[in-house]
Amino acid sequence: MIGLFALLFTFSSCGGGGDTSSSEGATAEKPKSMIAEPEAPIEVSADGSTVTARLTGDDMMKYNLNKIEVKAGQKINLTLTHTGKMKKEVMGHNFVLLKPGVDVDAFATEATKHKDSDYIPTNMEGDIIAHTSLVGGGESTSVSFDAPAPGTYKYICSFPAHHITMNGELIVN
């Protein structure tokens, strides 16, 4: 602490400058370029043709994103990562993008009967635009699809009862 105070006093009295890495009791800060920044949850390619969405779900039944905005026709590469620790049998997560007009509660109720297909109701596949497989703690899964026509589309986790807190909107402009 005394070394740091002396260093600050020296900087303020001589205008700053100098290399702090050789001063006793002080260490140089890493340049910002060397500090690993977390990846942005949504990125658009340089040419604007592709959107990469990084969706996470946790053991508290929450997605990190409740809204994803894209443009019609863009390719969407979505990765779902389960950041929790629980196994998929007790706290599994998926991403299911529904067509407009689908009754979310009715879909989710039907999904509970389809454990063997990762809670994707095979008799309602016509109501789904895209979906991932089910993942447990520490696992990831991905899906790629083209953004549909302009509009607002609901997405949910179809694991039993998760749609109540794990839901969002894909907004296509």
Average pLDDT over residues 130-146: 98
**DSSP state letters, 26-80:** --PPPPGGGSPPPPPSEEE-TTSSEEEEEEEE-TTS-BS-SEEEE-TT-EEEEEE
Position 131 scores a pLDDT of: 98
Domain membership of residue 139 (yes or no) is: yes
Domain membership of residue 37 (yes or no) is: no
Domain membership of residue 80 (yes or no) is: yes
Position 37 scores a pLDDT of: 58
Position 157 scores a pLDDT of: 98
| Confidence band for 172, pLDDT divided at 50, 70 and 90 | very high
Do 11 and 89 belong together in one domain?
Answer: no
pLDDT in tens, 15-37: 444 444 433 444 444 455 555 55
- Mean pLDDT for all residues in the chain: 86
Q: Would you give the DSSP letter of residue 99?
A: P
Average pLDDT over residues 75-96: 98
Average pLDDT over residues 31-44: 71
Average pLDDT over residues 125-130: 98
pTM value is: 0.79
Answer yes or no: is pLDDT of 168 > 50.
yes
Position 20 scores a pLDDT of: 40
Do 13 and 63 belong together in one domain?
Answer: no
| Confidence band for 14, pLDDT divided at 50, 70 and 90 | very low
Do 62 and 10 belong together in one domain?
Answer: no
116 CB contacts (<8 Å, ≥6 apart)?
none
Average pLDDT over residues 152-162: 98
**H/E run at residue 146:** strand 140-146
Do 18 and 49 belong together in one domain?
Answer: no
Please report how many Cα atoms fall inside a 13 Å half-sphere around the Cα of residue 109, on the Cβ side: 5
Query: What is the extent of the structural domain holding 157?
Result: 42-172
For the four alpha carbons of 136, 162, 160 and 76, in that order, the dihedral sign comes to negative
The phi and psi torsions of 10 (rounded to 5 degrees) equal -65, -45
Domain membership of residue 147 (yes or no) is: yes
> How far is residue 155's CA from residue 153's CA, in Å, rounded to a whole number?
7
Domain membership of residue 12 (yes or no) is: yes
Please report how many Cα atoms fall inside a 13 Å half-sphere around the Cα of residue 107, on the Cβ side: 24
Number of domains comprising the chain:
2
Average pLDDT over residues 102-122: 97
Do 6 and 82 belong together in one domain?
Answer: no
Question: What is the distance between the terminal CA atoms of the chain, rounded to a whole angstrom?
Answer: 55
| Closest among 155, 151, 156 to 171, alpha carbons compared | 151
Question: Helix, strand, or coil here: 100?
Answer: coil
> How far is residue 150's CA from residue 71's CA, in Å, rounded to a whole number?
7
Answer yes or no: is pLDDT of 117 > 60.
yes
Find the CATH number of the domain harbouring 153.
2.60.40.420
For the four alpha carbons of 107, 105, 88 and 40, in that order, the dihedral sign comes to positive
Position 96 scores a pLDDT of: 98
Position 18 scores a pLDDT of: 42
Do 85 and 57 belong together in one domain?
Answer: yes
Do 24 and 61 belong together in one domain?
Answer: no
Answer yes or no: is pLDDT of 78 > 50.
yes
